[in-house]
Copies of this chain bind each other. A is one copy, B any other.
Amino acid sequence: MTQELQALIKHLRQQLPANRLLLESEQCAVYACDALAVYSETPALVVLAESEAEVQTVVKAAARFQVPLVARGAGTGLSAGALPKRDGMLLVTSRMREILELDPTRRIARVQPGVVNARVSEAARVHGLYYAPDPSSHIACSVGGNVAENAGGVHCLKYGVTVNNVQSLRLVDARGEILCMGAHRGEQTGMDLLALVHGSEGCLGIVTEITLSLTPMPEKTRTLLAVYDKVRPACDAVSAIIRAGIIPAAMEMMDHFAIQAAEAFCQPGYGQGANAVLLIDLDGHPLEVAAELEQVRTLLALSGAARVQEAADETQRQRWWKGRKSAFPAIGRLSPDYYCIDGTVPRGRIGDVLEGIQALSDRYGLRVSNVFHAGDGNLHPLILFDASLPGELEKTERLAADILALCVDVGGTITGEHGVGREKYDQMALQFSDAEIGQFLRVKAALDPQQLFNPDKHVPTLARCREYRQLRARQAGEPAHE
């Protein structure tokens, strides 16, 4: 253990109640990874803060003793954004779990960062309101983590991602001071640091309080299933619906393998032979939903769907959605391991990119299944592999990098909703120029001059970018699987 860490621990023992600190390595090992468990490192020290003042104490101590500080919520992240540092401190905010205020008039909930996403909607339900962003981990993930990764969910097509549903927040900066950031519907005075903090993965400061926008529950939700013999027409239908001016609450797509896996797992009733399904929620005023439903039904039929069907009742609707929501574990049953990628492409290019992914899958000899937020162009290719085979994890990571490069090539991004974290640290070099990365680094330095907040995540150094681009160039000349 470094001298700095020893001094820090001594200091924090004086400043904080004993039950806030975990020092035994068995205790700390519990926090060694987030939900992307291939990256794992046990921190020297875990602090379970219970208040904003305690967060300030911890941040000031990190600055004083020059110890790296990684923040973490519920640990459900999928990009190793909460991966600890061995010689660092992990600050856990999950004990800060109070809903401080819920005001149906202003339609806001003011919460601590450890509040679980789904709890906000539960608390708001009595007022006919809910919190719209719904990552698939919403029964476990915390709002602080949602801000850190700018989380999305199946309904972000219509209701936006986290940044679109946060009105203001409080952040402990590198000096341990409180910054209030906020706006009425984008009417931000001064500099809009609020958006900057979203998706910044704890690299700029520690969020201690968040004021969320609540959304009125839709009066009516109706659900359509469209089944296709081919993938491409399903992709075209997605564009056609948006082009018609309709924004479904959700518009999800699953490919042949995912459909088979879901049918084997929970029998949603998509039909065994289907090569693609679209699952579409329309919500709003009943009369508007009825009109949109007919329009979407027509567009789906025109696109060449083999079958278009409305859910007859809530039971059927839930069955269909269960198939979609359990697609990942369902696929997981059919493969020793799987790796979920998160890229975004322009909607009009989904068909091209799926074909490109298939070609890469063939080249690498690794099966890829696609279950994704089609309306947003947010792909989640799942690479099926077996980590026990030598070299297969590396091959998988290389295929994943190729898929992300493909997304960037068509004008997309390397992450839709899972964040950069450690996982896509290198791929930032594919997405951004040196001028852009340089600017990110300068902004990071402006907020975190000692570079103690979540080091080696989110924004790579320019040297690392150059190395990675050189590596990619070398790999381009090599065969795909050695």
Contacts and interface: CB of A to CB of B under 8 A. Distances in A.
A71 to B, nearest CB: 17
A344 B285 contact: no
A119 interface: no
A173 B37 CA distance: 39
15 contacts: A105-B243, A107-B242, A160-B186, A161-B185, A163-B192, A179-B435, A180-B433, A183-B413, A184-B413, A187-B415, A189-B431, A191-B200, A191-B443, A193-B440, A439-B447
Interface in A100-148: 104-107, 128
Contacts of A431: 189-190
A420 B179 CA distance: 19
Interface string A405-443: 000000011111100100000001001110111011011
A184 B459 contact: no
A188 B348 contact: no
A196 interface: yes
Please give the count of copies of this chain that the complex contains. 2
Contact of A243 (B104, B150, B194): B104
B175 A187 contact: no
Interface in A62-101: none
A186 B435 contact: no
Contacts of A104: 243
A43 interface: no
A178 interface: yes
Nearest to A218: B245
A243 B160 contact: no
A209 interface: no
Contacts of A152: 187
A358 interface: no
Interface in A293-335: none
A371 to B, nearest CB: 18
Interface in A176-212: 177-180, 183-196, 198-200
A169 to B, nearest CB: 13
A431 B189 CA distance: 8
A415 B195 contact: no
Sort A-B residue pairs by CB-CB distance and give the 5 closest, nearest first: A195-B195, A287-B287, A216-B245, A177-B435, A442-B446
Contact of A192 (B195, B239, B433): B195
Contacts of A444: 191
A355 interface: no
A193 B447 contact: no
Nearest to A156: B185
A186 B459 contact: no
B284 A459 contact: no
A437 B177 CA distance: 12
A398 interface: no
Contacts of A288: 284-285, 287-288
A413 B440 CA distance: 28
Contact of A291 (B157, B285, B459): B285
Contacts of A376: 184-185, 187
A347 interface: yes
Contacts of A440: 190-191, 193
A377 interface: yes
Contacts of A216: 245
Contacts of A157: 185
A346 interface: yes
Given A288-B287, A436-B179, A187 B239 contact: no
Contacts of A156: 185-186
A442 B195 CA distance: 17
A370 interface: no
A445 interface: yes
Interface string A442-461: 11111100000000001100
A378 interface: yes
Interface string A342-367: 00101110000000000000000000
A164 interface: yes
Nearest to A416: B187
B184 A420 contact: no
